[in-house]
Amino acid sequence: MSVLDPAAYVSLMDELTRIVAHAAETILDLAVKANVRTKADGSPVTAADEAAEAVIRDGLQRLAPGITIISEERAADEKPNVPAGEDAGYFLVDPLDGTREFIAGRDEYTVNIALVTEGGPVLGVICAPAAGDIWRGIVGKGADRVSRAEIKRSTKIHTRPRPAREAVIMVSRSHLEARTRAYVEGFAQAKQVQCGSSVKFCRVAEGSADVYPRLAPTHDWDIAAGHAIVKAAGGNVTAPDGSPLRYGTAELLIPAFVASGDATA
């Protein structure tokens, strides 16, 4: 399959949905025996992270041999080689986003896959294994939500205009730092909702939340799928000053971002 051909994105999305559903089943099977370890950067990793990554890498290699895969756990062991050139495409994978929530027994963890071309994500799939939900989006073609149990039945989703007051703002349950807290406090009568993982992007994309800011560094694979889904649903994800995010840097880090359901706000 030529994943760099936009005409193939719809059929590609169906295959990616099956891959994340398989990874979700793998994670759920290992939920009772997490076997937590600490990586060199101080973050936790479990057997479920590694098993899900193996499932995803195998699925992507079968689906699109020759397309580079950059994934969180592999990147912890060896420096990823980001394809050069604006026309080069690659997959970004976070096999278990929200590992802390997973360890704590919460439902707020996800499986994320994005396709990046021309410096930005063009499609994304996010699965919340415990909740059974999958959100998907192709930039320029729309976004939808399906059940892991019935992936052939989908519901279109769309962002909403930002209300003048009482905007719903998603904030991290585990990583809410001072700069982001100060930014959120600048909204009049805003309602803050704490949540783990990339589910925060999905709430913005489906119109149940308005903004998700993070004014601290995060890795490309943490946000690429959510970025694509929010943009496909009618919103946008930019740097705090409104400039485009830059994916594929040497550190694979995004310094800060704001996801907004109202692209004109």
Run of H or E including 140: none
Which helix (H) or strand (E) segment is 183 a member of?
A: helix 178-184
Q: pTM of the entire structure?
A: 0.93
Please report, in tens digits, the pLDDT of each residue of the chain (265 residues total): 455 678 889 889 999 999 999 999 999 998 866 677 777 676 778 889 999 999 999 999 999 998 999 998 888 777 888 887 656 789 999 999 998 889 888 899 999 999 999 889 999 999 999 999 999 999 999 999 999 888 888 999 999 999 988 999 999 887 888 999 999 988 888 999 999 999 999 999 999 999 999 999 999 999 999 999 999 999 999 999 999 999 999 899 999 999 999 998 8
Q: Which CATH architecture has domain 6-157?
A: 2-Layer Sandwich (3.30)
How far is it, in rounded angstroms, from Cα 237 to Cα 80? 24
Judge contact between 23 and 95, C-beta under 8 A.
yes
The CA–CA distances, whole Å, from 196 to 10, 106, 112, 139 equal 28, 9, 13, 24
Domain(s) labelled CATH 3.30.540.10 in the chain stretch across 6-157
What 3-state class would DSSP assign to 241?
A: coil
CATH 3.40.190.80 in the chain is located at: 168-260
Pick the CATH number of 168-260 from 3.90.1580.10, 3.40.50.300, 3.40.50.720, 3.40.190.80: 3.40.190.80
Sheet containing 142-147, strands listed edge to edge, beginning at the edge strand earlier in sequence: 68-71, 89-97, 110-117, 120-128, 133-138, 142-147, 150-157
